[in-house]
Structure 1
Amino acid sequence: MSTTGEVLLLVAHASTALVCVGLGAWVLLRRRRGDAAHRAAGWAWVAGMAFVATSSFALRDLRDGRLSLLHVLSVVTLVSLVLGVRAARRHDVRGHRGNMRGCYLGLLGSAIGAVAVPDRAIPVFVVTEPLGALAAAAALAATTAAVIGLARATGRRRPRGAARPLPPARRGASMAGADER
């Protein structure tokens, strides 16, 4: 990585991938599925994953400018994302779950590979700039929390034109007409 553009792309790629790790875990581990929060977080995750997969084709430092096995994983990820979204739109829960879990496991595998190889950018950054790495980790955690918070807020929002919920009934108060029956 020599140019500023390449460095910025690597930072954006790695940052988005790490946010996708946290966001994907939240989507996969929460009990409710298919609600507005799941869909909002899922779309954010799909967009992030698509960026990570496509940006990987510009990152070729591993093999002197040639494509590597990680680029094959990027193609598989892009295909799986499309198939997973298509399955969700068709209400094919099993197909959606399988494709999205597969993408997430591929993401975890590549993240482990990015961290485990000592000469890669992330381990070098952590060793040479520990405070910067800590600040970056805090910023990524805050970004992930913000995306999850927005997704949860989306899930609580009433659709336009929806009736307001009735206030809870007071104890001892009877509903009008209920005593007449």
Structure 2
Amino acid sequence: MSALTFCTLTIGLWSVGKGNIRAHQRFMTGSYFGLVGAFIGVIAVPDRRLPQMAIHDLAGLVLWVAALALTAGLTVAGLLQLRMKVRD
């Protein structure tokens, strides 16, 4: 994930240097949301139990991942609706 962050920040800075403000905004926004997602992941699983859950509590892990996927989907849907309202 740190390699991805390094790439998005580099491309974002390169884009603003080339005058492509729209690409810069998108890469910086993506990098920010990635940082927020990583923070939430650290808070949600502070003791890094996911590998242990995969071995000892697979049903709990599946439920946890499904809840995260649902939350992410609802967040993206809400952001898309907000973006459409702003355009109107």
Distance 1:98 1:74 in 2: 18
Distance 1:105 1:86 in 2: 19
Aligned length: 48
CA deviation after TM superposition for structure 1 residue 74, in Å: 1.0
Over residues 112-157 of structure 1, what are the superposed CA-to-partner deviations in whole Å (9 max), with x where a residue is unaligned? 001111425xxxxxxxxxxxxxxxxxxxxxxxxxxxxxxxxxxxxx
Could you tell me which residue of structure 1 aligns to residue 21 of structure 2?
93
**Of the two structures, which has the highest relative contact order with CA contacts closer than 8 Å and spacing of 6 or more?**
1
**Structure 2 unaligned spans of 5+:** 49-88
Query: Partner amino acid for 1:104?
Result: Y
CA deviation after TM superposition for structure 1 residue 98, in Å: 0.8
Q: Which has the higher helix share?
A: 2
2:26 match: secondary structure? helix
Report whether the alignment pairs 1:115 with 2:43: yes
Distance 1:100 1:81 in 2: 7
**Structure 1 unaligned spans of 5+:** 1-72, 121-181
